[in-house]
Structures are given as structure tokens and as C-alpha cells.
Structure 1
Amino acid sequence: MATLKELRDERLRKLDDLKKLGVNAYPAESARTHTCREVAEQFESLEGQTVKVVGRLIGTRKFGKLAFLVLRDMSGQVQLFLKADTIEPLNAPLSQLGMDELNLLDPGDFVEAEGVVIRTQTGEVSVDVRKFRLLTKSLRPMPTEQEGFRDKEERFRRRYVDMNVNRDVRERFVRRSKFWQATRKFLDDHGFYEVNVPVLEHTTGGADATPFVTHMDALDQDFYLRISHELPLKRLLGAGFEKVYDVGPRFRNENYTDEHLPEHIAMEWYWAYANWQDGMKFMEEMYRYVLSETFGTLQFDIQGKQVDMGKEWEVWDYATVIRDHYGIDVHNTSIEEVSTKLAENKLEVEKTDSIPRGIDKLWKHIRKDVVGPVWLVNTPKFISPLAKSSVDNPDVVQRFQAVIVGSELCNGFSELNDPIDQYNRFIEQQQMRDGGDDEAMMLDIDFVEMLEYGMPPACGLGYSERVFWMFEGVTAREGVPFPQLRSDIDEVTKSLYPNVKL
């Protein structure tokens, strides 16, 4: 079997031959009248008409004065039928090839074909090509579907190959696009404005996470990459917006897991004059819409568990759940009692653990077995520093979390807008941070100042693309097009580019 270098050298020879003929193998202009799928599916109306199709060659067969090529674009594929007596000859200035130059083509090349829609004697819908142009000469062979492209490391490093060979992977990212389109449309249709807020922040907050740090030369100051969209969006409520959201990347300097990536896409919305109960009703409707638009169903088999997103959601009280499972009163406990329960359940006990951290670990131990959909409500205040306290019980906050198949798939609050209360909670978080908890929130005094000018009562919620990953049934790194990997260059590439320091 020929090596990659030998195959590449052969394609370079063909490229050189094309150049000698005066053919530009990488022209800027191309045209298309129909997709491959349209030609195949609309044969009855297109038969006998002239069309232009473009795409990548995935197969070539030549029999003397006849040739059959298979062309694929994003929509599908169609057969190209070439005959020596009807195809136009070489026209190098137009990058147009004739029958004699077909031997300079390879699977993987991009071409443009103009011809008449016909059905061949074998019944295959085809384009009887009259003009044939080269659009891109490929230098590396694409693995065939028969050969497969299954090595996970290779797939992640060369996702562009992965999506060509494993087309189900590419279709996944079509659905991912539909997921965010549907998210935006639902919010837009309900009167929300999308406002993009900064990625670089002096002080970052809105979540318990360790931030990435960078330096801005123009200001000679360190900045954080945002861990949340929350605080800038709530500043917009103070600025007079009543319904606002943002969709974009956020960054959390944590390890990879099946549900978490250091960089991922997330959405947060904020709705003035609404409370947490309004938010729960709104999100049940939003989930149904977004999932229907993305997947065409509300019935899912996730990790072997049957999930019906069309049914009525259950509502669980946080303190009741913890008491029933562990016998702990979350509002009257000690770090010793919490640590004991962590140890009894074979959960890690760290030196930096506090009561909030320990209680949260105990809840997540319960959460892993939840099927859902469930709303978890009445979270203790010490776990939720940005949420408004309950009128009925000042020890809990007006927070709601969607729990589905063991994962938290959104997080919403009646937003805290009392500047004194917010300042005091920031102080508590800062003390935790000063005590070694790198994930505790920073004191954002500018946000407190905004609250002193006044922010209306509001509900806010965020979800990330983990929602998509869950219902798609993939891990986090499978669920993004280009996951971060440790930098590495393979030996073949190093040998092909000896003058480049890699």
C-alpha cells in the first residue's frame, strides 16, 4: 500500500501537469443552480434541463470514451455522466477540463459540472456533463467510508476529515446549529433582545468557577475571560432593558469531563418584572419548542432511560431531598456532620470543603440517579449568592434548576436586586475565596453600585450546550466541532514540511 507521502507526491505531479497546461487549480469563481439532492429528488421537473452542480468528487470510473463520477455536496450526491463526444474540451483560462484531462483528477477534488439532467440506461439520475471545471485540487487523499476513520484522537484532531467520512458527525453539528437557532427564535418571538456582552472582564462572576486570566497590553491590566454572562446582562436591566439575552462562549478553567469543557457555548436571559415561577413556566415551554425544532420529538432514550419532555415536570424541595437521603438539616448542620456523610457515601472530602461545597456534593450524589424532568427548588441561600430570598423562608432562595438524567440542564433565579444584601453576600464569597476557594465569587463593587441606582425585580436563567449534548446522546468533546487538545504534530506532517519549525 502506498504511503501518504507517495500518494501526495502523485497528486503534486498532477497539479504540476495542470499548471503546465495553464489550468488554475484553485479558481475563485464558481456557480451552482441546484444542489445534488435537488437534482436527484426533483428529476421529474428537471429532466432535460441544464443545471450546474458543485461539490467534492468521491468516486471516478472511466471506460474509454465514457466516465462516471460521483459528486457530493452538503445536501447529498449525484452521478456525473461524461462522454468524449459531448463534453467541451480543455479551456485552461476557465479551469475547464476535457475528457483527456480526467486522469489528472482524484477523489477529494472539488469540481463544477454543467449539463443536462438525464436518467442513464441503468436508471441512475445523472447530469450529462457538457462543461467541467476544476475548483480545487486536493493533495491528501480522504479516507473512504469503507476504510473508516474511527480513532478518537485522530477524529478530534482532523474533524474536517471526520465530518467527511462520518457524515453522521456533520449532521450532529447541523442539529447543534438548529438548537441555537431555535433558542434565539423562541426568545426573539417572546420580545427578548440579544445583546452581546464582553468576554474580557475586570472582575468575573455569576458562577462558581476558576477563571482564565489574560493580560491586555493596551491597558496594562489583567483581565478574566468571563465564566458567565450574568452580571453584564443584569446591568442592562438597570440600564432600562426589560427582556435581554446573550448567546456565546464562556470559559471555566476546569478539567474535561463528559459534561464539561473549559470553553463552551451558553445562553442566559433576564426578564424584568418576572419571578422564578414565571421563569419555570417559560422554560418548560422553551424546552418543548427548542427540542422539537432540533430533534423533531419530545421522547428521548438517554443512557437507557426514557425521558418524556412533553409531560408535566416534577418539583422537588432541596432541603426535603437532602433530609430524606442523608438525615441532614441543611439549615442547621456542621462541617463535621457534612464531612461524615460525604465519607459514608464514598465522596471526596477536601481541606477546602465548606458546608456549601459539601452539601452541594451530597446533592449531586442524589442528582446522578434522577431521570426527570424535575425542577429543584428552594435552594439554601448559602449556595446561591445571587438569588433573591424566599418571602416564606429567608434561609432559601427563589431558584429553580432543571434536572434531567442526572444532570443540571438550566439554572434560574428571582434575581437579587437589594444592593446591601448583595454586598453582604459578595463579602461572604470573597472571604471563601480568600480562604483558598478559587471558585468562590469575586466582590464586584461596580455591580453593587449599579444595584444602588436601581434594578427592577427580574427573573434570569442560563443553559449551556450541555442541554444539546444530553439530548443528542454524546459526550462534551464529541458535541463540539473542534475540541481543545494538547498541541501535537504527527510525524508525516513534520517530514513533509522540514523547513517549518513545528
Structure 2
Amino acid sequence: MATMKEFREERIKKLEKLHSMGYNPYPAKANRTVMADAISANFDTLNGKSETVFGRIKSIRKFGKIAFIVVRDFSGSVQLFLQAQNLQPSNSSKGFIGIEDLNLLDTGDFIEATGEVIKTKTGEVSLALSELKLITKTLRPMPLDHESFTDKEERLRRRYVDMNVNIDVRNRFVRRSKFWQATRDFLNSKDFIEVNNNVLEVTAGGADANPFVTHMDALGQDFFLRISHELPLKRLLVAGFEKVFEIGPRFRNENYSDEHLPEHNAMEWYWASADWEMGMELTEEMIRYVCDKTWGTRQFTLADGQQVDFGKDGEHFERISFVKILKDQYDIDVFESEMPEIQAKLKAENLEVEKTDNRIRSLDKLWKKYRKTIAGPVFLVDIPVFMQPLAKTNASDTRLTEQFNLVFGGSEMCKAFSELNDPIDQLNRFKEQQKMRDAGDDEAQMLDIDFVEALEYGMPPACGLGYSERIFWSLEGISAREGIPFPQLKSEVDETTKDIYPDIKFN
């Protein structure tokens, strides 16, 4: 079998031939009157009419003075039927490719084809061509349908090939678009205002995460890439906005996993005058709306076989207690148990004990182990104040916050709470977080004095919620890297590329 270099060299010869004949193999536009799938779907209406399609060649079969080409666009495929006596002959000034020069075309090339909608003798809906134009000459062949393109590393590095060969992968990203559009549409329908805030921040806040650092030459100062949308959106509540949200990327300089990417998209909303109970009802309504619009169902089978059903409108998700779970499952009192006891339990559960572990990280490890068993959906509640520096204290038990986390598929998919708006309390909690950072906890939150000063001007009571595209990945039953079009991978250049471009010095 020919190598990629040999395929490429053969196509370059065809490209040079086209140039020598006066063709432009890369014109600026293509014409189209109908999508490929509409020809079959609307055959009774289109039968006998002249239509123009534009797409990529999937296959070419030539038999003397007749030929068949299958062309595919975003909607699907259609067969083109070519007869020498009916097809315009080659004419470089008009861009026509006649059947005599069909050998200059290859699978993968983009073409524009005009002809009459017919059914062949075998009953295949087709276009009987009168005109054929080359729109883009390709130098590398796409794998054919019968050729596998399943190597995970290769698929992720050349996702543009993956989506051509594996249409289900491409369709996944259509659903990803619908997921975020449904999120936006739902919030717009509830009179939330979308705002885009800065990605670069002087202080990274709003989450327990290690930030990326960059430098702005214009100001001669280091900045952090945001780890959360939270604090700027809450500043907008101080500014007089009452319902705001943002959808966009956030960055957390942490390891890759099936559930996490250092760069990912997320959404957060903030609703002045609402508390966590109102937030839970809105979350139930929103997740059902997004599922309906994205997948057309509320019932899912996840990658590990867990069944998730988001239920009927008006039904409430079960609530489970963080405090009770750790007591029932591990006999740990989150308030009273000493660190040696907690660390002993971590070891007994075969969980890692690190020197920098503090109470918060240790309790969280125990919870996360149990969390894997929860299919959900449930709301996790009763989260201690010392574990959440940005949430309001629960009036019925001041040791707890008014926080809820949506849990399904063994993961926490949404985090929300009644927002802390007491500036003195907020400052004290920031100080506790800063002590943790000083003790070596890189994920503890930074002390953001500007946010404290904003609270001193007055922020109304509010509920806020955030979720990331991890919800999408989970309901699709895929890993995080499979869930984005072009995941980051360690840079490398394969030997084929080095062989094809010998004059380029690769790092």
C-alpha cells in the first residue's frame, strides 16, 4: 500500500497539471441551491428540476463514458450521475471539469455539481450532471468508509479527520452547541442578562483551584487566567444588575482526567433576591430544559452503566447530607473528629494521605469516594461553613452553609448557594483560606480585597450557580478529551510529517 508521502506526491502532480491547464484549484466561493439530504427527502418536489450541490467527494467510479460520484455535505450524501454527452467538457476559464479529466479529481476533493434530479435505473436518487467544478484540491486522502480510523491518539491529534470519518463524533459537537444554546435560551427566557467579563485577573478567586499565570507587558504585571466566573458577576450585583450570567472558558492548572480538563467551558448565573431554595427549583427546571433541547430525553445510561432520570416537571430531586454521609459511611464527625482519626480512615479506605492535606481536603477525599456510587440526580446539602468561603450560613444550623451541589453519575455537576454578602464574615473566611495557602495548599482561595470592598458598598441577597461542560460529557457517556473538538496534547511531530517537510526544522 502506498505511503502518505506517495499519495501526497501523486496529488501534487495532479495539482500541477491543473495549474498548467489554467484551472484555479482553490476558487474563493462555491454555489449551492440545495443540501444533499434534501434531494432524497424532497424527491417528489425536486424531480426533474436543476439543482446545484457542493461538498466533498466520498467515492468515484468511472466506466468508460459514464461515472458515478458520491458527494457529501454537512447534511448527508447524494449520488452524482455523469454521462459524457450530457456533461460540459473541460473548460479552465469556466472551471468545468469534463469526464475526460475526471482522473484529476480524488476522494476528499471539494466539488460543485449542477444537474437534473432523477432516479437511476436502479432506483437511486441522483443528480444527472451537466456541470462539474473543482472547488478545493486536496493533497492528503481522507480514510475511506471501510478503512478504520480508531487509534485514539491519532483521532485526537487529527480531529478534523476524525470528524470526517466518524460522523457520530461530528454530531456530538452539534449536540454540544445545542447544550450551550439551550443553557443560554433558558436563562434569557428567565430575564437573565449575559455579560462577558475578563479572562485575565489580578486575583484568581471563586473556586478551589490552582491558576495559570501569564504576564501583561503593557502593565508590567503578572495576571492569572480566571478559575471561575463568580466574583466579577457578583460585583455586577453590587453594580445594580439583578440577574446575570456568563458562558465562557475557565482555566485550572491541574491534571487531566476523564472528568476534568485544565481549560473548559462553564456557565455561572447570579440572581439577586433569591436564596438556595429558589435556586434548587430553578436548577431542576433548567437541567430538564437543557436535556429536552439537547437530547430530547431526560433518561440516560452513562458510560459506567448508571441510569439517570431527571424526572417530570415539578418533581424535586432527593437531598442528601454531607455530614450524615461521612458519619454513616466512615464514622467521621466532620466537626469533631481529629485529623489523625480522619487520616487513619483515609488509609483504611486506600486513599492517599499527603503532607499538605488539611481537614477540608481530607474530608473531601472521603466524600468523593462515596460519591462515585451515586447515580442521582440528588442535591448534596449540609456542607460545613469551613469548606465553603463564599456561601451564606444556614440559619437553622450556623455550622452549615446554604449550599447545594447537583450530583449524578458519581460526580458533582453543579455547585450553588445563597451568596455570602456580609463583608466582615467574607473577609474573615478569606483570611482562613489565605492561611491554608500559606501552609502549602495551592488550591485554597486567594484573599480578594477588592471583592471585600465591593461587598462593603452592599450586595443584595442572591443565589448563584455554576456548571461546566462536564454535564455534557457525562450525559454523552464520554471522557473529557472526547468531549471537546481539539483537546490539548503534548506537542510532537510524527516521522511522516518530518519526511514530507524535510526543509523545516521542527522543535
The TM-score normalised by the length of structure 1 is: 0.99
Which residue pairs with 1:19 in the alignment?
19
Count how many residue pairs are aligned between Structure 1 and Structure 2: 502
Q: Deviations over 1:458-480 (max 9, x none)?
A: 00000000000000000111111
Residue 485 (structure 1) aligns with: 489
Q: How does 1:295-334 map to 2 (within 5 A)?
A: 295-302=295-302, 303-310=304-311, 312-334=316-338
Mapping for residues 218-229 of structure 1, pairs under 5 Å? 218-229=218-229
Give, in angstroms, the shift of residue 321 of structure 1. Answer: 1.4
Paired letter, 1:86? N
Deviations 1:302-343 (A, max 9, x none): 121221111541101211111111222212222112111111
Q: Which residue in 1 is equivalent to 2:88? A: 88
Amino acid at match of 1:325: Q
The 5 Å alignment of 1:164-243 reads: 164-243=164-243
Give 1:287's aligned residue: 287
Give the secondary-structure state (helix, strand or coil) at the position aligned to 1:341.
helix
Amino acid of the residue matched to residue 161 of structure 1?
V
* Separation (CA, whole Å) in 2 of partners of 1:40 and 1:387: 57
**What is the SS of the residue equivalent to 2:214?**
strand
Q: Say which SS state the counterpart of residue 101 (structure 2) adopts.
A: helix
Distance, in Å, in 2 between the alignment partners of 1:87 and 1:236 is 64
Q: Which residue, out of 325, 336, 339, partners 1:335?
A: 339
CA distance in 2 between counterparts of 1:500 and 1:214 reads 29
2:441 corresponds to: 437
Measured in 1, the distance between the counterparts of 2:32 and 2:320 equals: 56
SS of 2:258 mapped into structure 1: coil
Q: Deviations over 1:12-48 (max 9, x none)?
A: 0000110011000000021111100111211111101
In the alignment, residue 410 of structure 1 is paired with which amino acid?
A: C
Instruction: Give the counterpart letter for 1:173 in structure 2.
Output: F
Counterpart check, 1:377 vs 2:378? no
Q: CA deviation at 1:426?
A: 0.5
Q: Following TM superposition, by how much is the alpha carbon of 1:145 offset from its aligned partner in structure 2, in angstroms?
A: 2.0
Aligned residue for 1:413?
417
Distance across 1 between alignment mates of 2:406 and 2:156: 30
CA shift in 2, pair 1:217/1:94, >3 Å: farther
The alignment status of 1:467 with 2:468, answered yes or no, reads no
- Once the two structures are TM-superposed, the CA of residue 97 in structure 1 deviates from its matched residue by 1.2
Following superposition of structure 1 onto structure 2, how do residues 1-12 of structure 1 map, counting pairs within 5 Å? 1-12=1-12
Could you tell me how far 1:497 is from its partner in structure 2? 1.1
| In 2, Cα distance between equivalents of 1:328 and 1:495 | 61
Distance 2:454 2:91 in 1: 68
CA deviation profile, 1:373-423 (whole Å, cap 9, x unmatched): 110012001110100001111111000001102111100010011111101
Q: Quote the Cα distance in structure 2 between the aligned partners of 1:241 and 1:102.
A: 63
Distance in 2 (CA, whole Å) between partners of 1:486 and 1:305 is 32
Give the Cα separation in 2 of the matches to 1:176 and 1:93: 43
1:394 counterpart = 2:395: no
Counterpart AA for 1:277: E
Query: Which ranges of structure 2 fall in alignment gaps of 5 or more residues?
Result: none
What amino acid maps onto 1:390 in structure 2? N
Q: Within 2, Cα distance between the matches of 1:391 and 1:95?
A: 76
Is 1:362 the counterpart of 2:366? The answer is yes
Q: Deviations over 1:134-166 (max 9, x none)?
A: 110000011112111011110000000001111
Match of 2:275 in 1: 275
Aligned-partner Cα distance in 1 for 2:96–2:453: 67
Q: Which residue of 340, 343, 349 corresponds with 1:345? A: 349
Q: Partners in 2 of 1:439 and 1:395 — Cα distance?
A: 22
Q: Which amino acid aligns with 1:305?
A: Q
2:127 corresponds to: 127
Within 2, Cα distance between the matches of 1:499 and 1:6? 18
3-state SS of paired residue (2:93): helix
Cα distance in structure 1, aligned partners of 2:5 and 2:320: 61
Shift of 1:432: 0.4
Amino acid across the alignment from 2:293: E
- SS of alignment partner, residue 431 of structure 2: helix
Determine the C-alpha separation between the residues in 1 that align with 2:254 and 2:144: 37
Aligned residue identity for 2:24: N
Residues 236-294 of structure 1: per-residue CA shift (max 9 Å, x gap): 11111111111111110111111000111111111111010101000111111101111
Distance of 2:23 and 2:99 partners within structure 1: 15
Three-state SS of the structure 1 residue aligned to 2:481 is coil
Poorly superposed stretches of 4+, deviation over 3 Å:
none
Identity among equivalent positions (%) equals: 61
What is the CA deviation profile of residues 178-215 of structure 1, one whole-angstrom value per residue up to 9, with x for unaligned ones? 11111111111111111011111000011111000001
5+ residue gaps in structure 1? none
How far off its partner does 1:90 sit? 2.0
C-alpha distance in structure 2 between counterparts of 1:501 and 1:413, whole Å: 53
How far off its partner does 1:344 sit? 1.4
Q: Secondary structure at the match of 1:386?
A: coil
State the secondary structure of the residue aligned to 1:68. strand
Structure 1 residue 94: Cα displacement: 3.2
1:422 to 402, 421, 426: 426
C-alpha displacement of 1:91: 2.5
Distance, in Å, in 2 between the alignment partners of 1:9 and 1:359 is 61
Give distance in 1, aligned partners of 2:419 and 2:104: 65
Q: What residue is the counterpart of 2:63 in the other structure? A: 63
Q: Which residue of 1 aligns with 2:244?
A: 244
Tell me the TM-score normalised to structure 2 length.
0.98
Mapped contact 1:149–1:165 kept (Cα < 8 A): yes
- Tell me by how many angstroms 1:95 deviates: 2.3
- What is the Cα deviation at residue 63 of structure 1? 1.0
Shift of 1:61: 0.6
Q: CA RMSD in A?
A: 0.9
1-structure distance, mates of 2:115, 2:183: 41
**Larger CA deviation: 390-399 vs 337-346:** 337-346
